[in-house]
Amino acid sequence: MLRRLVSDRRRRDGEAHVAGRTGWLRAAVLGADDGIVSTASLMLGVAAARSAAGALVTAGVAGLAAGALSMAAGEYVSVSSQRDAERADLERERREHLTDPQAELAELAGIYERRGLTPELAHSVAVALSARGALAAHARDELGLTEVGRARPVQAAASSAASFAVGGLLPVVAVVLTPRADRVPILAAVALVVLAAIGALAALVGGASRYRGAARVLIGGAAAMAVTALVGRLVGGGGL
């Protein structure tokens, strides 16, 4: 009955929680943003060095491939470390349940007391939840581990690599389809517009302000491209 009432209220209010999206959303946004910024910055740096047109496209494609693989490897290693830590915590909890289950029950009841329940109700809740799965109750309420937020290295690596490749492909396509004289301004414009769109979309999906999301991604990307172009100009012109 309570579940149906909550469900009905969510439908009426249009309530939509976004916590379940944070894992793949973070990896996808980071990958796409990094793909555009890295590839566009690399190509702008090569262009500022007055390199040949073929070198510009080659740099973009090479940067795209290297960046996608690097993102995948980095995400996999990082999230795998998080998963290992989660497994170690769960294994420690499992041993503690085997050696002193009553102490673990009291610990769980104490958690609910600190959240505002009376000692009697906290104990009753701890007993009821432990009967359905003591380790799961401790994982959720003591360790903060839930199925939604569980570390998934392969998913994070695949999301990052795919989104980086998609993001990095856009500057390359823009250069290939643009006349030689207009390549640099078109490349910069396409990268900045897409960055703003990604920032706005990510903020919208995450329930935040799309203007703030667009602005922070746009400013960071513009700064990265400007610095890289300056370095390319200095190196290509013999300034360093």
Where do the domains of the chain lie? 39-45+54-61+153-235, 84-151
- Other beta carbons within 10 Å of 56: 23
Measured distance CA(64)–CA(61) in Å, rounded: 5
pLDDT of 1 above 50:
no
Residue of 165, 229, 10 whose CA lies nearest to 2 = 10
Predicted confidence (pLDDT) per residue in 22-64, tens digit: 555 666 777 788 888 889 888 888 888 776 767 888 888 898 8
- Read off the amino acid at residue 166: V
> 46 phi and psi, to 5 degrees?
-65, -40
pLDDT score, position 10: 44
CA distance 23 to 46: 34
Could you report the per-residue pLDDT of 89-119, keeping only the tens digit for each?
888 888 877 888 888 888 888 888 888 888 8
User: What's the token pair of residue 161?
Assistant: 């690599």
What are the residues whose beta carbons fall under 8 Å from the beta carbon of 92, sequence distance 6 or more? none
Q: What is the dihedral of CA 183, 186, 187, 189, to 10 degrees?
A: 160
Which two three-digit tokens encode residue 111? 């958690």
Could you tell me the pLDDT band of residue 229, with boundaries at 50, 70 and 90? confident
